[in-house]
Structure 1
Amino acid sequence: MSRQDVQDWIGKEVAGSDVVLFMKGTKTMPQCGFSMQVAQILNHLGVDFKDINVLEDMAVRDGVKAYSNWPTIPQLYIKGEFIGGCDIVREMFQAGELQELLTEKGIAHNARTLTA
């Protein structure tokens, strides 16, 4: 795939699901601690999300960094909007901001879940 094809594919994936997590590994078998933390937060909140394993395709791994202009993996997208990586997602979760964002965006989740 060309660089543009990869960007187009990433754009379709981000637009095609309400919550997308580009991660190392999968939601059932994360292959890095940062990816595992974000997946655990989403699972804890009961959020249905699409996981994309960047380790399966180097073009996607590099492409998503260019797509978001963000240098690290994992990367979380909600309703097409780039939210951030592990530290940002964790901080948002702990402050209750992630839960508020999910509610604002109409994403089903366990709103009564306590923060960490």
Structure 2
Amino acid sequence: MSNALETIKDTVTKNDVVLFMKGNKLMPQCGFSSKVAGILNYLGVDYADVNVLADAEIRQGIKEFSDWPTIPQLYVKGEFVGGCDIAIEMTLSGELDALLEANGVAFDKAAADKIREANAG
């Protein structure tokens, strides 16, 4: 497992944004992973995707690494952000925009506004 933890740490350190998910950004294999990947894709965020279904040690290791029991898991600049519900809440509140902006991660602000407008009221 220590190899998996080293791989995970290396991945979150070397990439500005990482999504540990079931499937990949082009073909998510669960609804929760699909929602978070959909947000990042729509916002045009350049992110690394890690398919936890491809490696049982990574799948278990990411849960230990973050002390978070579920997948997907979103990281920005090496920091664990959260899972699906948190990513959605942060998108709707504008917190995700602020986090990305504060960390110098490029994204489409107009797309973020469209998501909020579509979910208003």
Shorter chain as normaliser: what TM range?
A: over 0.9
Q: Give the gaps of 5 or more residues in structure 2.
A: none
Runs of 4+ residues deviating >6 angstroms: none
1:74 equivalenced with 2:63 (yes/no) = no
Helix, strand or coil at the partner of 2:100: helix
Paired residue for 2:88? 90
Matches within 5 A, 1:15-94: 15-94=13-92
Deviation at 1:5, TM superposition (A): 1.1
Which of 1, 6, 9 in structure 2 is aligned with 1:8?
A: 6
What count of residue pairs does the alignment treat as equivalent? 114
Deviation at 1:34, TM superposition (A): 0.1
Q: TM-score, normalised by structure 1?
A: 0.96
1:99 aligned partner, one-letter code: D
Identity among equivalent positions (%) equals 54
1:26 aligned partner, one-letter code: N
- Mapped to 1, the partners of 2:46 and 2:13 lie a distance apart of 15
CA RMSD of aligned residues (A): 0.7
Paired residue for 1:102? 100
Q: TM-score, normalised by structure 2?
A: 0.92
Q: Write the deviation string for residues 20-47 of structure 1: whole angstroms up to 9, x where unpaired.
A: 0000000000000000000000011110
Structure having the higher helix fraction is 2
- Mapped to 1, the partners of 2:100 and 2:109 lie a distance apart of 9
Helix, strand or coil at the partner of 1:112: helix
1:14 aligned partner, one-letter code: V
Q: Give the gaps of 5 or more residues in structure 1.
A: none
Deviation at 1:4, TM superposition (A): 1.1
Q: Write the deviation string for residues 53-78 of structure 1: whole angstroms up to 9, x where unpaired.
A: 00001100000000000000000000
2:78 aligned partner, one-letter code: G
